[in-house]
Amino acid sequence: MQTQHTDIVIIGAGLTGLTAAFHLINEGKKVLLLEKNHWVGGQIRTFEEDGFVFESGPNTGSVSHPEVTELLNALSPACELEIADENANNRLIWKGDRFRKLPSGLIGGITTPLFTLSDKFRILGEPFRKKGTNPDESVGELANRRLGKSFVNYAVDPFLSGIYAGDPMKLITRYALPKLYNLEQNYGSFIGGSIAKAKEPKTERDRLATKKVFSTRGGLSSLTNALGDAIGKENIRLSVSDILVHPFENQWKVTFSTLQEEETILASKVITTVGAYALPNLLPFIAKEEMDKISNLQYAPVVEIAVGIKDTRGLQFNAFGGLVPSIEKKDVLGILFPSACFQGRAPESGTLFTFYVGGIKKHYLTQLSDNELKELVCKELHAMLKLPASMEPDMIRIFRHTHAIPQYELSTGERLATIECLQKRYPGLIIAGNLRNGISMADRILQGATISYEI
Ligand SMILES: Cc1cc2nc3c(=O)[nH]c(=O)nc-3n(C[C@H](O)[C@H](O)[C@H](O)COP(=O)(O)OP(=O)(O)OC[C@H]3O[C@@H](n4cnc5c(N)ncnc54)[C@H](O)[C@@H]3O)c2cc1C
């Protein structure tokens, strides 16, 4: 067994670990990135088959922080940013027997059948409603109080299904949607706050956060592969198992097995970016009662199904996709139309769809067999997307995620406090990843970059 030394060990080569490693290496630090899979990217993975290019995890991100643009600029030309076609501005919501357009302007807002007339009037009073006093108010409660029930059912619920595959009555606003929470707390209203924020002066750097929907040319693996290449093979160990981390003489001792041998590394810092459920085995020196407060984090299970049709006979799906409110009692959470948003995702006359099934409210549907899922998809292609009866998919690929999206519910406060306390007690230990600071790719890039500034 060899013992080596490095400055920083990062555990997990998903987007968080890769981004942190990339920045730290650029700052001249010696980094070793450990990953149990035989690929880098974690939840991000792109596949190609029969002219379709599809993702098993995230399909799109939002350029919501300057760090996203900065990272993609730094990786160019190895990885090329692809901003979604303007089709992506069309968002659909299922109601009754079909998808309807989510309104974006005043006229659409008045005429949409998605919301009740009384809630449409009620929204006029939103800027004058009192701000909430419960810091642990759920997103559903907050939206019900300020906007009305039909907005919760037909906007907030499907929106949170799309992001968290979660339950709006359980996701706590200040953790799950901190920007929304701050709008109410700082400006007293969503509408007033949004207008005031839009008028605030922006620096050149602020403007890098364009809020646009993005992918990368050829699929999101080109982002994580470009990060992997920039970090360098010599700084990454793949297919690693049995990682154990222990404090050792003012340093960190990390032991692990590779396909060839057992290794020991001494480092001054260890950054974990794995899911909360993986931490107890990784950090056995932390007492169970304390670790339970982190590892009790619940994750929504999700099945993602890529569906390709080589020739849709002129049928167009010019939208980002459609979301399904849970009140509508359908078996899909939503359907994305990636080939309407990005180049080269389907053959020229074809279409690529991505179906999502499961989530917190319908977790039991993730137990369906592959055949049952294929039947469900084929049924909804005709029922929801109105494909002609004679049109069948040419490709169906199923990806099961048992720990897809962490749920920032009421336990979050205690989890964050425990992490802070542990990081103070054990200098050099950083517990990161999407168990805190946001679940989106943009949040992961921000966290990876922030860790590198702070170290
Ligand atoms: C189905 C799905 C759809 C999504 N859609 C979107 C979307 O549309 N937009 C968006 O912005 N975000 C989306 N996300 C969220 C986004 O993909 C994730 O937040 C992000 O990719 C997480 O990156 P990460 O590095 O924090 O974690 P991960 O990608 O989970 O990386 C953690 C890494 O740690 C490794 N690991 C775990 N345990 C160990 C261990 N014991 N030893 C060594 N290595 C270990 C894992 O193999 C993994 O590679 C989606 C996620 C899923 C699952």
Q: How many CA atoms, within 13 angstroms, populate the side-chain half-sphere of residue 223? A: 34
Quote the radius of gyration of the chain (alpha carbons, Å).
23
Looking at the whole model, is its pTM more than 0.95?
Answer: yes
- CA–CA separation, 223 and 80 (whole Å): 8
Sequence-ordered alpha helix ranges (H) in 168-268: 173-176, 178-187, 190-199, 221-231
Task: Find the 446 Cα to ligand 1 centroid distance in Å.
Answer: 14
Ligand 1 pocket, 321 CB below 6 A? no
Contact 426, 45 (CB under 8 A): no
Identify the CA nearest to 209 among candidates 217, 218, 200.
200
Place of tokens 């990161």: 432
Q: Which fold, 115-200?
A: protoporphyrinogen ix oxidase, domain 3 (1.10.3110)
Name the helix (H) or strand (E) containing 139. helix 139-146
To test the pocket of ligand 1, the residue of 33, 43, 224, 437 to mutate (highest count of ligand atoms within 8 Å of its CB) is 43
Q: Whose CA is nearest to atom 36 of ligand 1?
A: 12
Place of tokens 């137990």: 367
Q: Whose CA is nearest to atom 38 of ligand 1?
A: 274
> Please, which residues have CB within 8 angstroms of residue 82's CB and are 6 or more apart in sequence?
214, 215, 216, 217, 342, 343
Q: Whose CA is nearest to atom 20 of ligand 1?
A: 441
Ligand 1 pocket, 373 CB below 6 A? no
Task: Find the 21 Cα to ligand 1 centroid distance in Å.
Answer: 16
- CA–CA separation, 385 and 382 (whole Å): 6
- pLDDT by residue, tens only, the chain of 455 residues: 668 999 999 999 999 999 999 999 999 999 999 999 999 999 999 999 999 999 999 999 999 999 999 999 999 999 999 999 999 999 999 999 999 999 988 788 889 999 999 999 998 899 999 999 999 999 999 999 999 999 999 999 999 999 999 999 999 999 999 999 999 999 999 999 999 999 999 999 999 999 999 999 999 999 999 999 999 999 999 999 999 999 999 999 999 999 889 999 999 999 999 999 999 999 999 999 999 999 999 999 999 999 999 999 999 999 999 999 999 989 999 999 999 999 999 999 999 999 999 999 999 999 999 999 999 999 999 999 999 999 999 999 999 999 999 999 999 999 999 999 999 999 999 999 999 999 999 999 999 999 999 98
Ligand 1 pocket, 63 CB below 6 A? no
- Atom nearest to 401 CA in ligand 1: 53
- Tell me, what amino acid is at 6? T
Angstrom CA distances, 38 to 6, 42, 162, stand at: 22, 10, 29
Ligand 1 pocket, 312 CB below 6 A? no
Domain ranges of the chain: 2-44+222-297+408-454, 115-200, 299-406
**pLDDT per residue as tens digits for the range 39-54:** 999 999 999 999 999 9
- Atom nearest to 241 CA in ligand 1: 42
CATH code of the domain occupying 299-406: 3.90.660.20
From the options 3.40.50.1000, 3.40.50.150, 1.10.10.60, 3.50.50.60, give the CATH code of 2-44+222-297+408-454.
3.50.50.60
Q: Whose CA is nearest to atom 13 of ligand 1?
A: 58
- Atom nearest to 42 CA in ligand 1: 49
